[in-house]
Amino acid sequence: MAALHCRIPLILRKLTAKTNAGCMRAVWLTKRTDRLLFCLGTNYQLHSEKGGTNRNVMTGKVDRFGGITVHLSEQDFPPDTSQRAFNVQLRDSLSQWRAEGRIAVWLHVPIAQSRFIATAAEHGFAFHHARQDRSTLCLWLAEGESRLPRFATHQVGVAGAVLDEASGKVLVVQDKNKTKNAWKFPGGLSDPGENIGDTAVREVLEETGVQAEFRSLLSIRQQHNHPGAFGMSDMYLICRLRPLTFHIDFCTQECLRCEWQPLVELACTDATTPITSRVARLLLHGLRHGFHHIDLPAEQLPAVYSGMFYQLYHRALPLTEA
């Protein structure tokens, strides 16, 4: 193979010297040249940590754990790359990564290149997760059993308990098309990258038309094998919100009813869910004795990762201990 690489310039000169014989022959020789270059792997290089390059190895990013992440969409594959050519490329790449001591490979495959998944499976890759436009495969390269983390096991639902302290009323809805139309706080699933307080505010506005602001976290419910979470676990968080507007313009596609209901009634009615009733009593206690007894306010703190922050929810410390 090394000798063949050395002869590439000579081969190219011989091939291109004959391309003036006709357009059809020139096109044929161009395709032939492209295939030759692809098979030799001259278009694929991986920059090692020492700054060198390796032929016939796909490019990737090494993570802090010693694994490598490869996006097929970022490789310079010709559109007509065959599974056979990909197989050679992946085989040589795996050989190189093992020699470098990589512990795992994360392979991101766009849906348009899904034909390569079967080839990757032949090398031991397995599905890790999939999203709308791509699937992610993984392969453990180190010794022993795989220590790769599983994909996300929880979904996060957030509800907003919008309490008008002046009137003692709270905003509640009844979901449409439910077996039991019980009163509950408006809410929904949190979007990726969205803080739970923002989720509560957004969902309340979308479902009821009422604008509100986040005040605190009130409760967390964890439920496993949740029917609406594809067999995964479900985290359901309820936040306390303060209303900024009071006019109701609820979404008729999601809600059957929506109203401001006295908190004392919601706390003792049978026409609600157990968690809503419990949180209503919690809110009633806060309304009567002070919300500092029930609130888990949020504080933004810098993360150990440069330039990143997180929200920490906890009971406020006394000023003398803060």
Report, as residue numbers or ranges, the catalytic residues. 206
Cβ–Cβ under 8 Å, residues 267 and 280: yes
Cβ–Cβ under 8 Å, residues 197 and 298: yes
On the 0-12 / 13-18 / 19+ scale of CB atoms within 10 A, 14 is exposed
User: Could you say which DSSP state residue 296 is in?
Assistant: B
Contacts of 231 (CB under 8 A, 6+ apart): 225
What is the residue whose two structure tokens read 């967390």? 220
Q: How long, in residues, is the chain?
A: 322
Element (H, E) at 68: strand 68-71
Sign, CA torsion 174/175/179/184: negative
Cα distance between residue 161 and residue 21, in whole Å: 79
